[in-house]
Amino acid sequence: MTRKPAAPFFEFLSGLMLLVGFGVAFLLLWFVALVLLAGLLYAGLSVVTNWSVVARIGFSFFAALVILKAVALVGAVFDVIPESWVATNRKTKATSTLPPEK
C-alpha cells in the first residue's frame, strides 16, 4: 500500500492561511478607515453641536459606517475599479462595452 504525499494538504493549508490573512488585513484596514472617519466626524460634532459625549460617539460611528457603505456602493455601481485591472488571467483580453471604432 503506497502513501500519498502530503503536499496537497499543505497547499490547502497555505491557501487557507493566505485567505484568512488577507481577510483579516482587509478588515483591519476597513476598521482603521472607519475609526479615522468617525474621529473626524466626532471632532466636527464637538465644534458644532452641544450633544453628550455618548451621542457624539454613537452618531459619529453610525455616520462613518453609512458613509463607507455608500462609497462602496457607488464604487461597485459605477465600476470604479474595472475588472480588466484586476484580471489575473492575462491570456484573455479585457472586454469593452464601447462600440468598435470605424
pLDDT digits (tens, 9 = 90+) for 21-35: 999 999 999 999 999
More confident residue, 92 or 30: 30
For the entire predicted model, the pTM comes to: 0.64
pLDDT digits (tens, 9 = 90+) for 42-82: 999 999 999 999 999 999 999 999 999 999 898 888 877 77
Please write down the HEC assignment for all residues of the chain.
Answer: CCCCCCHHHHHHHHHHHHHHHHHHHHHHHHHHHHHHHHHHHHHHHHHHCCCCHHHHHHHHHHHHHHHHHHHHHHHHHCCCCCHHHHCCCCCCCCCCCCCCCC
